[in-house]
Structure 1
Amino acid sequence: MSLRLRRIALDGFRKFRTPVVLEGLTDGLNIIIEDNETGKSTLLEALRAAFFVRHNTKNQLAQSYAPHGEAIGPRVEVAFEAGGASWSVSKRFLRSAGVELTGPQGRAQGEEAEARLNTLLGAVKDSSRGGDIGSYGALGLLWVAQTEALAVSAPGQIVRDSVTATLEAEVGSIMGGPAYKKVRARVEDQYGAYWTPTGQKKGRQTEARDRLDAAEAASREASQRLATLEKTFTELEAARTKLKVIDREIADETDREARQALVSSLEIARAAVQMLATRRAEHEAASGKVHALEELQRRHVAATDATLTAQQAVDEARDRRRDVGERLAAARLRLADARSALEGARDGRRDARAGLGAGEKLIDKHRRAAANAEARKRHGELLDLERLYREARVVSETAIPAKTVAALEAFERVVAEAGAVVAAGATRIAFSGPTEAILIDGAPITEGERTLTRATKFRFGDAELTVTPPGTAQSADETLAAAKRRLAAALEELDIEDVAAARVRNDAARDAAAEVRTLDARITAVTPADPVIELAAGPEALKLYVSSLGNGGDDPEGELPDMWALTSALESAEDALAKAEGIHESALDGLRRIEEEDAPLATQEAGANSDLVNGRSQIEAIEARPEYATLETDLRPARERAAECAVKLDEAERNATAHDPAAIARKIDVIDARNRTAGETRNKLLTDIARHENTIEIEGGAGLADRAAAACEEVEAARATLERVTMDADTLKLLRETLDEAHNETSARFVGPVAKRAKRHIERLLPGCELAFSEDLALVSVTRGGIAESCESLSRGTQEQLAVLTRIAFADMLLEQGRPVSLVLDDPLVYSDDGRLDAMVEILSDAATRMQVILLTCRDRAFRHVPGNRVTLG
């Protein structure tokens, strides 16, 4: 039964502070490729939380679900299919914790929902603080987080039980049944009374052994004391007998007489040794003289033979070198001609290169002249642009700040408002007709309309009229006057007539600022860098360069050279040089071959000459020695003298052998040692006799025989007890080992099918390998080419690949049992090379035909080509 995830929704779960939904998951291979830190691992952790972590737990793992710094309740919703039916689970942790499971049987909440979910997925309640993936069942093995697949590990107990149930019918055995466990527990209890867990004796065995050891020690002590007493009687009689013998030996005069005779013989032996040394020195002197004469004769003969041989070798080497010398002279002549031609070709190439270089320099001068003319032209444009830039900059700097303009407009608005108030509350009067006789506040009046804002006196001749407008008119008039003063002061400070002039001035400044930017861009455009004249970009660099040019002309002297002709000439010179070099190398190789042929001949001739000179010098040195002149006449009497000395030496050796001083001295020492030992032995025997007599007096009445008999009886009883206890312990040990062997045999019968299924996948990656699984179904080693390799010693990449492949094998076995299975791999195969990665992708694609596979990865390049359903996390 394949488990298929369809939709995952997260809200407030770790880094997902806002709601995130993952949809579009299909039955086969699903690939989610996202960058690092986008939440792929968090997504897998959320799946585990939704299915396996209890909603009401507040352990360390659940506390980690909340986003950092926020006190909210993380929520996860998952829609999935299992057993051909649609299901959905919604969980909320920490705050307002709750769970709701919806399926074919309807909805369930709380503990009932958790129980149904565990039953559906084959999981058990997790009571650990950090999350125990072993309690998650099959999905705990198949949903692999980052780094969990970097080492091959055993499946959890739930998965092992499921696999065992799958294979029971296949292997025909039931491993670990209730009867076995009951018997095994009983045997283990009894075994613990006799043996330690490591198989060492303890408990009843050590107690029985201690009792026997104590009894044997007591028996040995009693028997030893009894035997010691009996031995003391025997040793006393023996000591008295030996004392009598020693007394007779001391009284005997034989050794003293023998010693006197040996002392006389020692004097004679020493004289024979002295004569032997004299004869040996005479023989060595005579033999040395014979050997020296014979050695001189031998050396003369050897030097004469070596001289003749060396002379023949010199003549032969000279004849062979004579033919090689003619060819060597011709080869040297050819090499000299080739060297001359090579030098001429090199001179031609050097001239051609010099001509081409001069042409390039002239062209460079023309280029620099053109670049200088262009720089002068751009310099003139730059000066005009900078003048315009300064003028526009001056105008742009006359801009009035926006706050100041707003203040002027506010002042103008206040003046207008105050004028309106004055107009509304003031008294208006109009005059018509002759007004000469009328005075207003003592001043003549003019014809027309007038507005009165304060008390005003009119005089008509002697009559006087006072007109008083409303009180508000006067205050409004004061407000208007104050506003006009503020406006006039602000305009005067800015040196403008009115607010409209300020607006016109700002418009001009704004246009000038735009012109400044345009001119700045034009200045940048007119002052680019010029690599021909090594001119940097910027106006300052251009002005500095033009000022350094002075007023000289920019037209170079001379016409442009024909670069094609110069280049062709250089190429021809290069070809001629290459040919000359080839001829020179050929001549050099020919000379080298002849020299190599001549070298061993020269070496042979030199060696033969050296041997000839050495032989002649040796002959001269030998013949120059004084003893050489009489060598033949001196050699015969020297040999006769050596023979005579040898005869005398043999006679002296026979005499020295017959009277050996060392042997005589040893005999004298033996007699002295025997006498000294006899005295020491007599003293020791007297001491032993006294000690034995005292021991017999003390131990004689202690009843040692009865005590020895009782100790023997205790030993027999303790030995019988030990034999009985040992038999019981061995029986229990044998029974325990038999149960273990049966258990291991049954386990091995289960491991076989597991290895067979796993090999089907691993064979595609490691052809020809054999797998070894432990009792807990963990892959422990791989055998290739007859060599077993522990999984721990394999590379990290191979371990990761084997971990994924064994999980696929277990997934297939769980599918056979109808367990809910899906494969989720977070950042898989990070240590795989390209070839292994392609093979693993094929295996995963094949597995996706049987179950849903979800790959979470950040490696776009590695999985870009893999066919599958692409899903985006967002």
Structure 2
Amino acid sequence: MILRGLEVEQVRRFGDAVRLTGLGPGINLLGAPNEFGKSTLLAALRAVFLLPHGSRAGPVAALQPYGGGAPRIAVDFTLDGCDWRLEKRFLHRAFARMEGGGARLDGDAAEARLHALLGVEGRRGAEAVGLLNALWVTQGHSLVQPDLSDPARATIRSCLEADLEAMTGGDAAGRVLSRVSADLAVLLDGRGNPRGRFRAAIEAGQAAAAELARLDGRRQALEDDLGAMADLRRRLAHEDDADRREKERADLAEAGRVRDRLRDYDARDRAARAERDHAVARLGVARQDVGRRAAWERDLAAGTARASALESAFGEAREAHAVAGAAHAARLEAVRAADEARQAARRALD
């Protein structure tokens, strides 16, 4: 197979359509900084060849961009001298299309043709299995055992048989294979299960492993008991030390004296705290008295100003009263004079 081009759209970090060109026979090296999308392109290449277009499994969901979408992948390749173009879209409005050799296939027919070309077996909703899985190694999975289909195993077996026959010759290879098959028949039955002495050896090995595990458990328990015994002996020797006991008595007496001093300090501390709390309370009362006195002084100043204003108003009222009294006396005199004139006029009239 020779890859000639790859196109992805809505695949992880690639939202818009991106096309990789310039591929051809030989080694193709793709170089770019970290997080530029190299692993994404390789994952897309693996998905378009091995994942069915109708799958919704985890590997397909992992191809979606962060904001969601329908991953679309197209690849151009040459196989056995024929040019092919394979295109798949996953999840929303999924489809598969394969063009080459003057024909166009869609859907399951395209998947079947692809599996036949690659020599893999399709699995519903999962990756196809075959020899391609063993040869197509992704980063970090070089030591993982691949899933192989029966045709893939037959292909590997035929390659090994051809190499063995080329190295040893046809008859020698047959004799070697016959000898290997005969020796293998002594160890395994027709279904590949152990038999005879081989089976007995396996069972004996399993029993020995179980016994070894049991003995190892007993050994660990004995080691724990020995460790606990040694610890108890150290504690016993520590408890029986006369000098240590005398020192502990002295330490205990000193601790009692320190405790008494601490109690005295605690009592003095409580007394000081109580005195402080009393002083704080008295300070609060004094501050309240200062506040009330300030209010009283403000009220006294306002009353004094009010009394002064009233005194001035009272003086003005007295002056106005005197003026009004004089005017009233003048009017009374005028009335008296008018009354005398009226009486004189009356007498004159009479």
> Which has the bigger relative contact order, CA under 8 A and spacing at least 6?
1
Of the two, which has the highest radius of gyration? 1
